[in-house]
Amino acid sequence: MSELNVKYLILGAGISGLSFANFVDSEDYLVVEKDSRPGGYCKTTIRGDYVWDYAGHFFHFKTEEMKKFFEEKMKDCELVTQQKNTKIYYKDNLINYPFQTNIHQLDKEEFIDCLYDLFNKVEKDNYDNFLDMLYGKFGKSIVEKFLKPYNEKLYACDLNKLDKDAMGRFFPYADLKQIIDNMKKNENNSYNNQFLYPRKGAGAFMDKLYESLNPEKVKLNTCINKIDVGNKTAYTDKGDVIKYEYLINTSPLNQFLGLMGRTEDVELLNKLSYNKVLVFNLGFEKKSDFDEHWIYLPEKQYNYYRVGFYNNILSDEKLSMYIEIGFSKDAEIDVDKELQLTLENLEKNGITKDNKLVDHETIIMDPAYVHIEKETSEDIKNYMRNIANEQIYSIGRYGAWTYCSMEDAMISAKELAAKLR
């Protein structure tokens, strides 16, 4: 048992927590991480011939500043640059992503249905929810063939619950002119059209962030059990008592809210909605005929909504995949059953034809995708303003309970570090 005094107490050694510690320009910090390894959901397993992340994590940058920071940290590591190659597996065919700008690749009857409904869609000034927005922007056929079933598999919830801007800038909007123009130009201008990836997996960047810190300022295998906000004191499962000036939370908000025991925290906790994602990392004996980086599957007959190919990104010879399957937050997951179903479906898709599974890894992300709901979003904003008055800040994809990229998490960490300095 020890008593510590720190200026910055940072909960979580994922990309947000490690970035904040790198940017804060002070040695007066302590990072507390419950796992035995830093990285959060951005860890990598390297086993035999296979490089596997905790689901797909690819680095794409909208700012030169963060790209330069990343490349400087990774200068001693081999980086792969890829032009994104993604498809949608629909009715036993592969069509280009996003669906809404590639409806011309469907068969004639379905193409006409999509085009007719797109032209006759009824737009509104204000949409009630995410599903309402989809129908208004894209019409019945595009929504019901891809956007609705895919996002139901992804979020594992009723899409009427989600805010119209639940995916923010990450949703591939397209107007009628863009859709028509794409029939001739066949362009994909989505936000992550080009990405960087370390040969040793996304976790290599987490390792570099961690190596930049003083190891004595990071406590791994340590959980925060309780936070006394009034006395600015945190208690760990190891018996440590930590006095802080600023508390920086990057752990999932639903877990953080349970640490303080206040009525307002519990009330918000009960409102938060999210899903779980079961991830299978699979390694096979030989290469597949598929050359895509990842594939989306909207049809409910397949248990997974997305499959990715690490070997195609890294130009490796043996098929190495990640599989993502969405569940509600309260679902009981039968891992063995889902693995068997996954292997059967990969055979049906033609991905693993005459190929033998050599090794695999199972991960359950809980929480995985947070559900952005209009009313709850307002409650979260108000809560964040209130705790900031107590010198508590909750940042990152899960700390801020938002839909953001790894770069966004790094930017928010840097901005907060600058503000507090």
* DSSP-derived secondary structure letter, 330: T
Cα–Cα dist 254/321, whole Å = 30
Same domain, 248 and 360: no
The reply to whether 62 falls in a domain is no
* DSSP-derived secondary structure letter, 43: -
Amino acid letter, 7: K
* DSSP-derived secondary structure letter, 337: H
The CA angle 308-313-203, to the nearest 5 degrees, is: 80
Q: What's the pLDDT at 1? A: 66
Condensed to tens digits (0 to 9), the pLDDT of residues 333-391 reads 999 999 999 999 999 999 999 999 999 999 999 999 999 998 899 999 999 999 999 99
Q: What's the pLDDT at 56? A: 85
Same domain, 315 and 380: no
Cα–Cα dist 408/417, whole Å = 14
Same domain, 269 and 282: no
Cα–Cα dist 242/5, whole Å = 6
Element (H, E) at 148: helix 148-155
Same domain, 390 and 356: no
Structural domain including 413 reads 3-43+200-273+373-420
Please determine, for residue 168, whether its predicted confidence score (pLDDT) is greater than 90: no
Question: Which whole number is the average pLDDT over 401-413?
Answer: 96
Q: Which of 365, 390, 411 is the last residue of a domain?
A: 365
Q: What's the pLDDT at 188? A: 56
* DSSP-derived secondary structure letter, 406: H
Q: Which of 123, 154, 182 is the last residue of a domain?
A: 182
The reply to whether 100 falls in a domain is no
Number of domains in the chain: 3
Report in angstroms the alpha-carbon separations of 226 from 243, 249, 259, 262: 12, 13, 5, 11
Local confidence band at 235 (pLDDT 50, 70, 90 cut-offs): very high
Local confidence band at 187 (pLDDT 50, 70, 90 cut-offs): low
Q: What's the pLDDT at 346? A: 98
Cα–Cα dist 114/34, whole Å = 49
Average pLDDT, the chain: 95
Percent of the chain with pLDDT over 90: 91
Local confidence band at 327 (pLDDT 50, 70, 90 cut-offs): very high
